[in-house]
Structure 1
Amino acid sequence: MNSSTAQDFLTSDFDGFAVRVDSAGERADIVLNRPPLNVISMAQRDQLRQVFEALDAHPDVRVIVLRSEGEHFSSGGDIKGFLEASPEHVSKLADNVAAPARCTKPVIVANRGYTFGVGFELSLACDFRIASETTRYALPEQNLGQIPGSGGSARLQKIIGIARTKHMVMRAKRISGAQALDWGIATECVADDELESATQALVDELRRFSPLAQRTAKRLINDNEDAPLSVAIEMEGHCYSRLRGSNDFREGVEAFHAKRKADFCGN
């Protein structure tokens, strides 16, 4: 999707969420808004993927924020929709939910209240999870005679290990935002009335860095998740070497020696 097509697409009406682009602040928000629990429909999953791809192509966006209206992030997916969808469609759900991870730009999710099922899976696919103290994370699919189907157990196990993942998945246990921070799921856990300010602070922090270095770091870290240590170190060296010839690296070095703020251009 090219940048002009992306910008036109983002003016569309979406199912259960809205998109807001702040070009001056280089921030885009995807806002879940299906009160009272922000249930995520089957159609909405496809649209969310398309929106992440469009925002990735948007020239004015540096950081993407996934958040919600109301006291809950999302209670999960539309249960009835699973029975109505074809097996082929259901088998591709994880691909849609992985859109934040595929996005080359940093993606922050701001969680509060219920963050269950696909709401949690979407959050796990983001780069940074800021939880409020009201957050409750859960993968409750065992209550339906099912398992997470959009990467939830797989991503969670990478973060917290097999024992804690079995505790959450096989027992459908909920954990708080504070516990998620302790276990390494959340990047931060803040008071509920500080969630928006903490999110903006992280947006501002990420905007200070080189877009090229940010893209490179995200891709490198994601790709090295399953790589042997020797391969991961080799890939890191290749990426470092490529960045060494970039305009942003030259600007960073010059700014450092001049004791001024770097003005990165993204190439």
Structure 2
Amino acid sequence: MTDLTHRGQSLLQELDGFSIEIDAERERADIILHRPPFNVISMHARDQLRAAFEALDEDERVRVIVVRATGEHFSSGGDIKGFLEASPEHVSKLAWNIAAPARCSKPVIAANRGFCFGVGFELSLACDFRIATDTTFYALPEQKLGQIPGSGGSARLQQMVGVGRTKDIVMRSRRIPGKQAYDWGIAVECVADAQLEATTDALVDELRAFSPLAQRTAKKLLNDSEDAPLSIAIELEGHCYSRLRTSDDFREGVEAFHGKRKPVFRGS
């Protein structure tokens, strides 16, 4: 366990089925699902994952967060028995917990191999970037249990691929292979399974090279304007652009461009 601090510190003790690693030199944090063989995500782990993202968002050592898993599968989904045992109040918080990657101001990457089902898929959909492999299958299989996705899965998916494809995935409990997910725009890359780690590393380093302030601004703008009318989205973009024009990072970027050198961004 790392030395993370958070106002919900007690939640970060004795992590349930996952671990956290911080590489300060590479400005990277990894949340690693680890409950072999299928990395089932418990009800308690959902609360802990939320707290972990909130703590990492406040950690100055971290620029980029990666969600990955040990073994051949990202996650086969949630603890089904836990749903029947949880209180209605607890169940009502599930979507808020799983949306933690989206609320996090820093870039979040989901590295998906093997099964990425149910809440594992929903957690990945809440991330900014999904990297799939030729072994990946995405699915929202809740119809097989007489249920529907409950942590934002159908809603986020519909925003990405439209209502027709979402109905095809949700109402038929279809498994979508990584290549098809890439073709549909769910995943940003689909690589050979052996290349997942290297591809993830490369994306982390690419994102670290940009201004932290510009990255945070872009993420929040895109999230806030996702379901806004075009005129409102353009207005919001203009305000964000105007604010960044006065930043130290923008000045550094312009000066580096004209000086034909690599910019050194400081996030201010």
Q: Same fold (TM over 0.5)?
A: yes
2:4 and 2:90 map into 1 onto residues whose CA distance is 29
The match for 2:107 is: 106
Cα drift, residue 11 of structure 1 = 7.6
Describe the SS at the equivalent of 2:52.
helix
The match for 2:214 is: 213
The match for 2:18 is: 17
1:1-267 matched pairs, under 5 angstroms:
5-6=5-6, 12-267=13-268
What does the per-residue CA deviation read over 1:110-167, in whole Å, with 9 as the maximum and x for residues that have no partner?
0000000000000000000000110000000000000000000000000000110000
Question: In the comparison of the two structures, how many residue pairs are matched?
Answer: 265
1:218 and 1:141 map into 2 onto residues whose CA distance is 30
Q: Is the 8 A contact 1:112 1:135 kept in 2?
A: yes
Structure 1 ranges of 4+ moved more than 2 A = 3-13
1:241 and 1:215 map into 2 onto residues whose CA distance is 15
Read off the aligned partner of 2:248 and give its amino acid letter: N
Read off the aligned partner of 1:50 and give its amino acid letter: A
Describe the SS at the equivalent of 1:226.
coil
Which residues of structure 1 form unaligned runs of 5+? none
Identical-pair percentage: 73
1:163 and 1:199 map into 2 onto residues whose CA distance is 30
Cα drift, residue 7 of structure 1 = 11
Cα drift, residue 88 of structure 1 = 1.3
What does the per-residue CA deviation read over 1:154-205, in whole Å, with 9 as the maximum and x for residues that have no partner?
0000000011000000000001000000000000000000000000000000
2:153 and 2:6 map into 1 onto residues whose CA distance is 28
Read off the aligned partner of 1:248 and give its amino acid letter: D
CA RMSD of aligned residues (A): 1.5
Q: 1:168 to 1:211 in 2, by over 3 A?
A: same
Describe the SS at the equivalent of 2:252.
helix
What does the per-residue CA deviation read over 1:26-84, in whole Å, with 9 as the maximum and x for residues that have no partner?
00000000000000000000000000000000001000000000000000000000000
1:50 and 1:89 map into 2 onto residues whose CA distance is 15
Read off the aligned partner of 1:105 and give its amino acid letter: K
2:18 and 2:171 map into 1 onto residues whose CA distance is 31
Describe the SS at the equivalent of 1:261.
coil
Cα drift, residue 12 of structure 1 = 3.8
Describe the SS at the equivalent of 1:161.
helix
Cα drift, residue 4 of structure 1 = 7.1
1:4 and 1:223 map into 2 onto residues whose CA distance is 28
Cα drift, residue 6 of structure 1 = 4.0
Which residues of structure 2 form unaligned runs of 5+? none
